[in-house]
Amino acid sequence: MQRIKLGMMGGGIGAFIGDAHRRGARITNKYDLIGGVFDVDYERSKEFAKYEGISLDRCYATLEDFIKGELALPKEERIEAVSIVTPNNLHYPMAKMLLENGFHLICEKPMTMTVEEAEDLEKIVNETGLTFALLHTYTGYPMVRQIREMVNKGELGDIQRIDAKYYQGWINPIAHGGKISEVWRLNPKAAGVSSCMGDIGVHAFNLIEYTTGLEVTEVLADLSKVVSEVELDLDGTVLIRTNGNAKGVLRSSQMAIGEENNLSIAIYGSKAGVKWSQENPNYLKILSDDKPVQTMKPAHPYNSNFAAISHTMPPGHPEGIYEAIANIYSGAAKQIKGEEIISGEYPTVVDGVRGMKFIHNVVKSSSQNGEWIKL
């Protein structure tokens, strides 16, 4: 099989997200990482390339050098797709330049800093026909995909209530310990208008729309900085209205002391309900009025075809976040190669636009003392 030649922007020494992308890409066996700009410091970038066994000829000092160097090569030798794993403020300028020069993209979220930037990327993707995959990681879990299929088939009935939660606690000691300036996610110039909602709340938002097929049409938000020294929100609650009958609530915090990566969703329909948690991703709870609580797990014949193609191990062998990322990379690879894909195999530029509208409008709602704002 001809693997896709992959490049990477950012993700060098000590970068957790970059490492997660590389592991996910490797699991698919559909990509070879052969070059990129791995660090703003060229010496550190070269150090990383040596560690990864990447030729220094394909380790570039700047994005401009990367594009010039790759386009000078014969087409069959060029990098075809690029992963962007930099801080938020670099996503848009890098993505725009790479798309305009013919590279497919896999980009970390949030996609951009503003709604206008997101809509511009959407326009470029539509004009070029290039693949743009946005790494909303949690859409890659088999049991999340199972929920999506169950909703699509009407197994839950009419959706009546949605609860989504994403709690972390890792910023709590930083905020109270006075090390705020050391974290780029707390700097508006690097992170954008939001920390909590922009970094993790948007995952819960995406999960709502991905699993239910509904669109959030209005939001009412109450966000908190928690500590006065921080400029961005670290905690918040959002009421949501959808284009169906369902209403719901989205809760998110980076200050929930002791919490690790507690993303969960509960969807209640007229026939049944479901509950799923990222910290125990192999277990999907099915609730109803006339049966005991049921538990579904990956790799069993009772799952949908979409869930079935999304597991990598036999029943009882735990899968996790790297495999979820791999599923998104795999979907993008199929699209790049012109193969048929199932709707939802990877989040698209459209999801990126939706996410930016969510982030900016919850910030606007909270700043206006909790007014309902249309997306």
Judge whether 242 lies within some domain.
Answer: yes
Rounded average pLDDT over 254-283: 98
What's the structural domain count of the chain?
2
- Confidence category of residue 70, pLDDT binned at 50, 70, 90: very high
Judge whether 133 lies within some domain.
Answer: yes
pLDDT tens for each residue of 43-68: 999 999 999 999 999 999 999 999 99
Q: What whole-number distance in Å separates Cα of residue 233 and Cα of residue 106? A: 27
pLDDT tens for each residue of 278-290: 999 999 999 999 9
What pTM does this model have?
A: 0.95
Judge whether 336 lies within some domain.
Answer: no
Query: Domain span at residue 70?
Result: 4-137
Judge whether 333 lies within some domain.
Answer: no
Write the CATH number for 105: 3.40.50.720
Q: What whole-number distance in Å separates Cα of residue 152 and Cα of residue 155? A: 8
Do residues 160 and 113 share a domain?
Answer: no
